[in-house]
A and B are shown apart, each in its own frame.
Chain A
Amino acid sequence: MPRVVIVDDHDLFRAGVRASLGPRVEVVADSGDVESAVHAIDELRPDVVLLDVHMPGGGGVEVIRRVGASRPDVRFLVLSVSDASEDVIALIRAGARGYVTKTISGPDLADAVCRVRDGDAVFSPRLAGFVLDAFAGEIPAAQVDPELDLLTPREREVLQHIARGYMYKEIAAQLGISVKTVEAHVSAVLRKLQLSSRHELSRWALHRRLVEE
């Protein structure tokens, strides 16, 4: 049974998540700010940390930054109402293994926790959209490291299906590949997001900010 720490600055929400996760998951602690979250993770060594984006004292990115290196076996799953793709992508790039919205049902969330614990990536349709957005755009091939800065056609296809609301099983059936292969593609996308030289991503972020101005 995966051991979980919930990090969110809303007391009511933490209580709600704790109740809805059900018996498949053991919640060992919850904390409402960065400081106590770092302490709890260090102390209790949970399998999975459910992490909010915005919190007093630096937010989810700060938590990952402070414990990610010393506790590489702890996995982070972002659970947030945030709609800002920059925030979510920043957390994924910092090392989180997935992003689900707070409207997710209890059983689905427990499912996602188990998958993250097993080392899989959890992409909600929204996250798939953010990632496709981040990797979209055509730039001359000479400027980028194609290994890292571009998605392969297959990876793009898998992400598009996730964004269209397909489950991994359905994607596998549609594309005629195994569920394991779908998972491998998603993990590869995650790795690219975290490692790439990010010419493209920074250009994207810049563009986003300009659009927002």
Chain B
Amino acid sequence: MSMSYPANPPRGGFRIAVGIGLLVLSGLLFVRAAGPWPGDTIVWPAAVAALGALLIWRAPAVVPRRPRGWAAHRSSEQRPSRRQSEPERVRVRGRPEVSRGGLGVALVLAGGFAFLWASGAMRPAGETVLAALAVLIAVALIFAPSWRRLARSLAAERTERIRTQERADVGAHLHDSVLQTLALIQRSAEDPKQVAALARHQERELRGWLADGDSRENGRTLAAAVDAAAAEVEAAVGGSIEVVTVGDCPLDERARAVVAATREAMLNAAKFAGEAPVSVYAELSSERIQVFVRDRGPGFDPATVPPERRGVRESILGRTQRAGGRAAVRSQPGGGTEVEIAFDRGDKR
């Protein structure tokens, strides 16, 4: 009997197996009704063999989980728990699949033998078969250790390959970002402002990359989007913006309005703050979204802002109100400015 071992069975593999099984069954029933039939002794061995085949099909190929991004590269004293657990995890994962596949093979073989035995094909050749079986078992016993070793070295080699690739990824990223920035810094060494801006930009980028490659880079959450907006504003206007976020939530339509208004507030703050850093605090809970943008600039008296100055009124207050939230600007001459943007998440718009 030949059996295919799909390297990575697709989701529909199980259904296909069931379908084939049903087709074979109907074919057998047809043959039983119409044609030559060896006798009902075939039924139970066939059922056992089918069960074994099913087990083999269902056993997924053993694929070690790729260690996630940077985590695999942190030095062991920094992340002892994760580093140590990695190889173990691979091994533990491999075991049940292997034994399931083994059980399947045993069942298929048992089914085949049972059929041969029951149909009487074995009786004349009984001794030959027994001898062949003994030789097979002996060969298996002799070569099992080396097969085992081979499998193990294959797994080790695969792990090593994954490591190497990760290292290449890290190297490529460092080259693209950090080394480039360092070169830029050397070239603009006379301009301290430029150097500081470059360093901050690089720091933010590297932190984002280290913290969480995927979700934050793509800006799928509100916290990530606020971070990204802060980086943009820093790049555009200069100055430094310290972002602190508590909690997080997905970037839905309302959250987008929050980000847009926050960005506008950060732009204003960065323009007027001067040297002092701008503080951004975002608290994102299930009930509400609340963002504070505070600068330590000269401040102003909100009552004296002429109506044609649309920046704050339109892009922060108006935008937030249209999206169903509320915003407030608190400022005093000499006391800095704070913009608060708040949305309740419980209510419908």
Q: Residues on A close to B: CB < 8 A?
A: 54-59, 83-84, 125-126, 128-129, 132-133, 136, 160, 163-166, 212-213
Q: What are 13 contact pairs spanning A and B, CB under 8 A?
A: A56-B77, A84-B211, A126-B242, A128-B244, A129-B244, A129-B246, A163-B281, A164-B279, A164-B281, A164-B292, A165-B279, A165-B296, A212-B71
Q: Are B77 and A132 in contact (CB under 8 A)?
A: no
Q: Are B279 and A58 in contact (CB under 8 A)?
A: no
> When A57-B77, A83-B211, A164-B292 are in contact, do A136 and B246 touch as well, CB less than 8 Å?
yes
Picked from A54, A125, A212, A213, the residue with its CB within 8 Å of the CB of B279 is A125
Q: Is B245 an interface position by the 8 A CB rule?
A: yes
Q: In whole angstroms, what is the CA distance A212 to B244 when docked?
A: 19
Q: Are B211 and A165 in contact (CB under 8 A)?
A: no
What residues of chain B lie closer than 8 Å to A129, measured between beta carbons?
A: 244-246, 281
B275-299: which residues lie under 8 A (CB-CB) from chain A? 277, 279, 281, 283, 285, 292, 294, 296
What residues of chain A lie closer than 8 Å to B244, measured between beta carbons?
A: 125-126, 128-129, 163
B233 nearest CB across to chain A (Å): 16
B71-86: which residues lie under 8 A (CB-CB) from chain A? 71, 77-78
Q: Are A125 and B246 in contact (CB under 8 A)?
A: no
What residues of chain A lie closer than 8 Å to B283, measured between beta carbons?
A: 132, 160
Q: Are B246 and A164 in contact (CB under 8 A)?
A: no
Q: Which residue of B lies closest to A167 (CB)?
A: B296
Given contacts A136-B247, A164-B281, A165-B242, 13 further A-B contacts (CB under 8 A): A55-B77, A56-B77, A58-B77, A83-B207, A125-B242, A129-B244, A136-B246, A160-B283, A163-B244, A165-B279, A165-B281, A166-B294, A212-B71
Q: Are A59 and B77 in contact (CB under 8 A)?
A: yes
What residues of chain B lie closer than 8 Å to A136, measured between beta carbons?
A: 246-247, 285
Q: Is B338 an interface position by the 8 A CB rule?
A: yes
What residues of chain A lie closer than 8 Å to B207, measured between beta carbons?
A: 83
B77-111 vs A, Cβ < 8 Å mask (1 yes, 0 no): 11000000000000000000000000000000000
Picked from B78, B246, B338, the residue with its CB within 8 Å of the CB of A54 is B78
A26 nearest CB across to chain B (Å): 29
B339 nearest CB across to chain A (Å): 11
Q: Is B11 an interface position by the 8 A CB rule?
A: no
> When A164-B292, A165-B281, A213-B68 are in contact, do A132 and B78 touch as well, CB less than 8 Å?
no
Q: Which residue of B lies closest to A135 (CB)?
A: B246
B39-59 vs A, Cβ < 8 Å mask (1 yes, 0 no): 000000000000000000000
Picked from A57, A84, A160, A212, the residue with its CB within 8 Å of the CB of B281 is A160
Q: In whole angstroms, what is the CA distance A140 to B246 when docked?
A: 21
B152 nearest CB across to chain A (Å): 26
Q: Which residue of A lies closest to B294 (CB)?
A: A165
What residues of chain B lie closer than 8 Å to A212, measured between beta carbons?
A: 68, 71, 212
Of A57, A58, A160, A165, most B-chain CB atoms within 10 Å: A165
Q: Are B77 and A54 in contact (CB under 8 A)?
A: yes
A28 nearest CB across to chain B (Å): 26
Picked from A83, A163, A166, the residue with its CB within 8 Å of the CB of B246 is A163
A137 nearest CB across to chain B (Å): 9
Q: In whole angstroms, what is the CA distance A126 to B247 when docked?
A: 13
Q: In whole angstroms, what is the CA distance A73 to B210 when docked?
A: 36
Q: Which residue of A lies closest to B78 (CB)?
A: A54
B346 nearest CB across to chain A (Å): 13
What residues of chain A lie closer than 8 Å to B285, measured between beta carbons?
A: 136
Q: Which residue of B lies closest to A84 (CB)?
A: B211
B336 nearest CB across to chain A (Å): 9
A-B CB proximity, top 3 nearest: A165-B279, A129-B244, A164-B281
Q: Which residue of A lies closest to B295 (CB)?
A: A165
Q: Are A125 and B281 in contact (CB under 8 A)?
A: yes
What residues of chain B lie closer than 8 Å to A54, measured between beta carbons?
A: 77-78
What residues of chain B lie closer than 8 Å to A83, measured between beta carbons?
A: 207, 210-211
Q: Which residue of A lies closest to B247 (CB)?
A: A136
Q: In whole angstroms, what is the CA distance A132 to B37 when docked?
A: 76
A35 nearest CB across to chain B (Å): 13
A208 nearest CB across to chain B (Å): 11
Q: Which residue of B lies closest to A129 (CB)?
A: B244
B219 nearest CB across to chain A (Å): 16
Of B245, B281, B283, most A-chain CB atoms within 10 Å: B281
Q: In whole angstroms, what is the CA distance A54 to B80 when docked?
A: 12
Q: In whole angstroms, what is the CA distance A58 to B244 when docked?
A: 28
Q: In whole angstroms, what is the CA distance A5 to B247 when docked?
A: 35
B238-252 vs A, Cβ < 8 Å mask (1 yes, 0 no): 000010111100000
Q: Are A133 and B77 in contact (CB under 8 A)?
A: no
What residues of chain A lie closer than 8 Å to B210, measured between beta carbons?
A: 83
Q: In whole angstroms, what is the CA distance A59 to B246 when docked?
A: 26
B190-243: which residues lie under 8 A (CB-CB) from chain A? 207, 210-212, 242
Q: Are B246 and A133 in contact (CB under 8 A)?
A: yes
Q: Are B281 and A133 in contact (CB under 8 A)?
A: no
